[in-house]
């Protein structure tokens, strides 16, 4: 699914926190959103996810506005994902049960994805008792189990150990190749941006300051603000 932002603006308390004239995100590509704290990255993602309304402007999904059919194809994971006070298995199977998938298929897919994310041993544990990293993996397994067309991730691997980061990145790349999933990832990890993203969008003060191919942005940024931002990271 292509995602198109047109004259999108978000204002909080008379302050514009996001102002995007035009952005075309193509089906099957992985986009990295980078930028300082408070730049408007999460606001943009929440608007695309349909969790927040823009003050002005529109988001199109292919040529459609957000509707029930579109919402069913999108999955969004926040910085602090919310898990139900139920077992890990119940949490992960929830999106399939919601879509009335038959039990045998649900059981098979849940087992597969728990193995993929290395959380199988936690299957009966109460999800609210998991560690931060474990919760993140379970939340992503739940987000991916229904095979979304659009994946929106707000810092999916903040505070995650390298082994789990690798599991999460592999899971994203695998689906991207197989399902042509359009993916947008907010990250403060430039190594991750390099590994995962086809293109990078640098946002500051609510504006897109620079957008281009990952290597161009990371190694040959043109905008002086992008240069300054990237110079603060060790790569």
Ligand X SMILES: Nc1ncnc2c1ncn2[C@@H]1O[C@H](COP(=O)(O)OP(=O)(O)OP(=O)(O)O)[C@@H](O)[C@H]1O
Instruction: Tell me which stretch binds ligand X (CB under 6 A): 36-44, 102-110, 175-183, 223-231.
Output: 36-44
State the nearest-atom distance from the C-beta of 75 to ligand X, in Å. Answer: 18
The arrangement of strands across the sheet holding 15-25 comes to 15-25, 3-12, 56-61
Which range in 41-49, 81-89, 110-118, 157-165 contacts ligand X by CB under 6 A? 41-49
Only one of the segments 12-20, 83-91, 124-132, 144-152 lies at the binding site for ligand X (rule: CB under 6 A); that segment is: 12-20
Residue among 93 and 189 whose Cβ is closer to ligand X: 189
Contacts of 210 (CB under 8 A, 6+ apart): 201, 202, 217, 221, 222, 223, 225, 226
For 155-193, b/e burial (b = at least 16 CB within 10 A) is bbbeebeeebbebbbebbeebbeeeebbbbbbbebbebb
Order of all β-strands in the sheet with 182-186: 74-77, 150-154, 182-186, 30-34, 199-204, 207-213
Residue 230, beta-bridge partner list: none
Stretch that binds ligand X, among 11-19, 89-97, 165-173, 224-232 (CB under 6 A): 11-19
Can residue 42 be called a binding residue for ligand X (CB under 6 A)?
A: yes
Q: Is 17 in the site for ligand X (CB under 6 A)?
A: yes
Residue 53 is a binding residue for ligand X (CB under 6 A): no
* Residue linked to tokens 């930028």: 35
The correct pick among 1, 20, 39, 193 for binding ligand X (CB under 6 A) is: 39
Residue from 3, 41, 95, 211 binding ligand X (CB under 6 A): 41
Sites of contact with ligand X (CB under 6 A): 12-13, 17, 35, 37-43
């Amino acid at each position: 699914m292509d995602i198109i932002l047109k004259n999108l603006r978000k204002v909080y308390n008379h302050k514009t926190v996001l102002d995007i004239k035009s952005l075309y995100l193509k089906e099957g590509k992985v986009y990295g959103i980078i930028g300082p704290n408070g730049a408007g990255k999460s606001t943009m993602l929440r608007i695309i996810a349909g969790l927040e309304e823009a003050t002005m402007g529109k988001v199109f999904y292919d040529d459609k506005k957000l509707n029930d059919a579109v919402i069913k194809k999108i999955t969004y994971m926040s910085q602090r994902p919310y898990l139900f006070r139920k077992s890990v298995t119940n949490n992960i199977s929830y999106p399939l049960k919601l879509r009335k998938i038959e039990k045998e298929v649900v059981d098979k897919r849940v087992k597969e994805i728990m193995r993929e994310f290395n959380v199988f041993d936690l299957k009966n544990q109460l999800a609210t008792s998991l560690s931060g990293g474990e919760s993140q993996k379970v939340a992503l397994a739940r987000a991916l189990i229904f095979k979304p067309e659009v994946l929106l991730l707000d810092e999916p691997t903040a505070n995650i150990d390298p082994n789990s980061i690798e599991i999460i990145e592999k899971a994203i790349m695998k689906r991207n190749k197989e399902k042509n999933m359009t993916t947008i990832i907010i990250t403060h990890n430039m190594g991750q941006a390099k590994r995962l993203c086809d293109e990078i969008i640098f946002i500051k003060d609510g504006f897109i300051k620079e957008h281009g191919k990952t290597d161009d942005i990371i190694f040959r940024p043109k905008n002086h603000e992008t240069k300054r931002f990237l110079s603060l990271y060790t790569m």
